[in-house]
Amino acid sequence: MKKIVLFVAAALLVGTALTGCKESKKAPADTTAEETSMFTKEDTTKVMDLVNQFTVCLQNGDIKGALDMLVFLDGDSIKPIDPANLQRQANSLRFIAGMPGYELDRIVMQDEKRNEAKIDIVLFEKKDENDKRPNTTSFYLRPVYINGQWYLTTRDNITSTVDENPEKHEIKNLGEVDVEE
């Protein structure tokens, strides 16, 4: 029991460290993803496929496979993640690899660099329906569209050269893409 509590605490700590704590602002009720998005359903499908491939790697414990899908965004250039950051990412992903379940909760797409995919991670299966303990945490990926191609990155893998004003690149909910079709 102590191990489960420690494991859940470690996973929540990693989830918090990887996700950030800012709350998205809600869009007006009449705003839809189609009205505000510059992307097509094909873009959404490509992003969903990338995220699903990433979560399959994690679920199978293939941390290297998941890391191979992540890139570093330096301004408008896609680069491999440097070895120090790659090791840090690997250490973080170890805490959430091999979990019982991963579910794409939502994708919020704004422009080439301001997008997010929220993945809910089941840390352990509840054996009793009356169990009130939380058993999930969340992980966020940042899909970016550079030179006509989609890539996955995380908040930590984007340099400040993306924009001089980091507030501008804060994710605001201009329209969520329903991932359940």
Read off the pTM: 0.67
Q: Are strands 136-146 and 115-122 parallel, antiparallel or unpaired?
A: antiparallel
Q: Are strands 176-177 and 101-109 parallel, antiparallel or unpaired?
A: antiparallel
- Residue 111 CA to residue 105 CA, distance in Å, equals 19
pLDDT tens figures, 7-56: 444 444 444 444 443 333 334 333 334 445 688 899 999 999 999 999 99
What domains can you pick out in the chain, each with its CATH number?
Answer: 2-177 (3.10.450.50)
- Count CB-CB contacts under 10 A for residue 144: 23
Radius of gyration over alpha carbons of the chain, in Å? 17
- Residue 109 CA to residue 115 CA, distance in Å, equals 4
pLDDT in tens, the chain (181 residues): 444 444 444 444 444 444 443 333 334 333 334 445 688 899 999 999 999 999 999 999 999 999 999 999 988 899 999 888 899 999 999 999 999 999 999 999 999 999 999 999 999 999 998 999 999 999 999 999 999 999 999 887 765 444 444 444 444 444 444 444 4
| Separation in Å, CA 71 to CA 78, 88, 116 | 6, 14, 15
| Separation in Å, CA 176 to CA 27, 118, 127, 167 | 9, 11, 33, 20
Rounded-to-10 torsion of CA 44, 45, 51, 54: -150
- Residue 112 CA to residue 38 CA, distance in Å, equals 9
